Structure 1
Amino acid sequence: MKYIVTFIWALMLTQMVNFILNSLQGGGTFYFELGIILAVLITLTMYILDLMLKNPDEAK
Protein backbone atom coordinates (compact mmCIF):
# COMPACT_ATOMS: atom_id res chain seq x y z
CA MET A 1 0.00 0.00 0.00
CA LYS A 2 2.81 2.41 0.83
CA TYR A 3 4.28 1.95 -2.64
CA ILE A 4 0.94 2.75 -4.27
CA VAL A 5 0.76 5.98 -2.29
CA THR A 6 4.39 6.71 -3.17
CA PHE A 7 3.59 6.21 -6.85
CA ILE A 8 0.52 8.49 -6.68
CA TRP A 9 2.49 11.29 -4.99
CA ALA A 10 5.43 10.86 -7.35
CA LEU A 11 3.08 10.95 -10.33
CA MET A 12 1.37 14.12 -9.17
CA LEU A 13 4.60 15.92 -8.31
CA THR A 14 6.44 14.95 -11.48
CA GLN A 15 3.49 15.98 -13.65
CA MET A 16 3.38 19.32 -11.83
CA VAL A 17 7.12 19.92 -12.31
CA ASN A 18 6.87 18.75 -15.92
CA PHE A 19 4.02 21.21 -16.60
CA ILE A 20 5.78 24.14 -14.92
CA LEU A 21 9.08 23.55 -16.72
CA ASN A 22 7.24 23.11 -20.01
CA SER A 23 5.42 26.40 -19.46
CA LEU A 24 8.65 28.21 -18.64
CA GLN A 25 10.13 27.02 -21.94
CA GLY A 26 7.33 28.52 -23.96
CA GLY A 27 4.58 25.92 -23.75
CA GLY A 28 5.58 23.47 -26.45
CA THR A 29 4.45 19.88 -26.57
CA PHE A 30 3.54 18.45 -23.16
CA TYR A 31 4.90 14.92 -22.69
CA PHE A 32 2.65 13.15 -20.18
CA GLU A 33 4.68 9.94 -20.58
CA LEU A 34 7.80 11.59 -19.17
CA GLY A 35 6.06 12.21 -15.85
CA ILE A 36 4.86 8.61 -15.70
CA ILE A 37 8.35 7.26 -16.39
CA LEU A 38 9.86 9.48 -13.71
CA ALA A 39 7.16 8.45 -11.21
CA VAL A 40 7.90 4.77 -11.85
CA LEU A 41 11.63 5.38 -11.43
CA ILE A 42 11.08 7.25 -8.16
CA THR A 43 8.83 4.46 -6.84
CA LEU A 44 11.35 1.77 -7.79
CA THR A 45 14.12 3.78 -6.13
CA MET A 46 12.09 4.03 -2.92
CA TYR A 47 11.43 0.28 -3.03
CA ILE A 48 15.10 -0.54 -3.48
CA LEU A 49 16.17 1.88 -0.73
CA ASP A 50 13.59 0.36 1.60
CA LEU A 51 15.03 -3.12 0.96
CA MET A 52 18.60 -1.93 1.43
CA LEU A 53 17.98 0.00 4.66
CA LYS A 54 15.85 -2.64 6.38
CA ASN A 55 17.21 -4.16 9.54
CA PRO A 56 18.10 -7.83 8.90
CA ASP A 57 16.12 -8.83 12.02
CA GLU A 58 12.97 -7.20 10.57
CA ALA A 59 13.28 -9.09 7.29
CA LYS A 60 12.61 -12.43 8.96
Structure 2
Amino acid sequence: MRYLVTFFWAFLLTQMVNFILNSLAGGGPINFWIGVVLAVAITLAIFILDGLTKMSADHTHAGDEH
Protein backbone atom coordinates (compact mmCIF):
# COMPACT_ATOMS: atom_id res chain seq x y z
CA MET A 1 0.00 0.00 0.00
CA ARG A 2 2.81 2.41 0.80
CA TYR A 3 4.28 1.94 -2.68
CA LEU A 4 0.91 2.74 -4.20
CA VAL A 5 0.80 5.97 -2.18
CA THR A 6 4.39 6.67 -3.20
CA PHE A 7 3.45 6.24 -6.85
CA PHE A 8 0.41 8.49 -6.42
CA TRP A 9 2.45 11.34 -4.97
CA ALA A 10 5.29 10.84 -7.44
CA PHE A 11 2.77 10.90 -10.28
CA LEU A 12 1.04 14.00 -8.96
CA LEU A 13 4.25 15.92 -8.36
CA THR A 14 5.88 14.98 -11.66
CA GLN A 15 2.78 16.04 -13.58
CA MET A 16 2.83 19.34 -11.71
CA VAL A 17 6.52 19.89 -12.51
CA ASN A 18 5.86 18.85 -16.11
CA PHE A 19 3.10 21.46 -16.40
CA ILE A 20 5.18 24.23 -14.84
CA LEU A 21 8.25 23.54 -16.97
CA ASN A 22 6.08 23.31 -20.07
CA SER A 23 4.51 26.68 -19.24
CA LEU A 24 7.92 28.25 -18.72
CA ALA A 25 9.08 26.88 -22.08
CA GLY A 26 6.29 28.54 -24.01
CA GLY A 27 3.18 26.48 -23.36
CA GLY A 28 3.22 23.88 -26.10
CA PRO A 29 1.37 20.58 -25.82
CA ILE A 30 2.04 18.69 -22.59
CA ASN A 31 3.48 15.21 -22.94
CA PHE A 32 1.56 13.21 -20.31
CA TRP A 33 3.77 10.12 -20.59
CA ILE A 34 6.95 11.87 -19.45
CA GLY A 35 5.35 12.39 -16.05
CA VAL A 36 4.18 8.78 -15.92
CA VAL A 37 7.64 7.44 -16.78
CA LEU A 38 9.28 9.69 -14.19
CA ALA A 39 6.74 8.65 -11.55
CA VAL A 40 7.44 4.98 -12.23
CA ALA A 41 11.20 5.62 -12.10
CA ILE A 42 10.91 7.48 -8.79
CA THR A 43 8.73 4.72 -7.32
CA LEU A 44 11.20 2.03 -8.41
CA ALA A 45 14.11 4.02 -6.99
CA ILE A 46 12.33 4.34 -3.64
CA PHE A 47 11.46 0.63 -3.72
CA ILE A 48 15.11 -0.27 -4.32
CA LEU A 49 16.41 2.15 -1.68
CA ASP A 50 13.92 0.75 0.82
CA GLY A 51 15.17 -2.76 0.14
CA LEU A 52 18.80 -1.71 0.46
CA THR A 53 18.25 0.05 3.78
CA LYS A 54 16.42 -2.99 5.14
CA MET A 55 19.32 -5.22 4.08
CA SER A 56 21.89 -2.98 5.78
CA ALA A 57 19.72 -2.76 8.91
CA ASP A 58 19.48 -6.57 9.01
CA HIS A 59 23.26 -6.90 8.77
CA THR A 60 23.90 -4.42 11.58
CA HIS A 61 21.40 -6.11 13.91
CA ALA A 62 22.81 -9.55 13.10
CA GLY A 63 26.20 -8.48 14.41
CA ASP A 64 24.68 -7.30 17.72
CA GLU A 65 23.52 -10.80 18.72
CA HIS A 66 26.94 -12.00 19.87
TM-score, normalised on structure 2? Answer: 0.83
Question: Which position in structure 2 is the counterpart of 1:31?
Answer: 31
Matches within 5 A, 1:4-15: 4-15=4-15
Q: Match for 1:38: what amino acid?
A: L
- Kindly name which structure, 1 or 2, has the bigger radius of gyration based on alpha carbons: 2
Partners of 2:2 and 2:42 lie apart in 1 by: 13
Structure 2 unpaired stretches of 5+: 62-66
Ranges of 4+ aligned residues in structure 1 off by more than 3 Å = none
Q: Match for 2:36: what amino acid?
A: I
Partners of 1:12 and 1:47 lie apart in 2 by: 18
Structure 1 unpaired stretches of 5+: none
Percent same amino acid among aligned pairs? 59
Question: Which position in structure 2 is the counterpart of 1:41?
Answer: 41
Aligned length: 58
Cα deviation for residue 5 of structure 1 reads 0.2
RMSD: 1.4
Cα deviation for residue 56 of structure 1 reads 1.7
TM-score, normalised on structure 1? Answer: 0.91
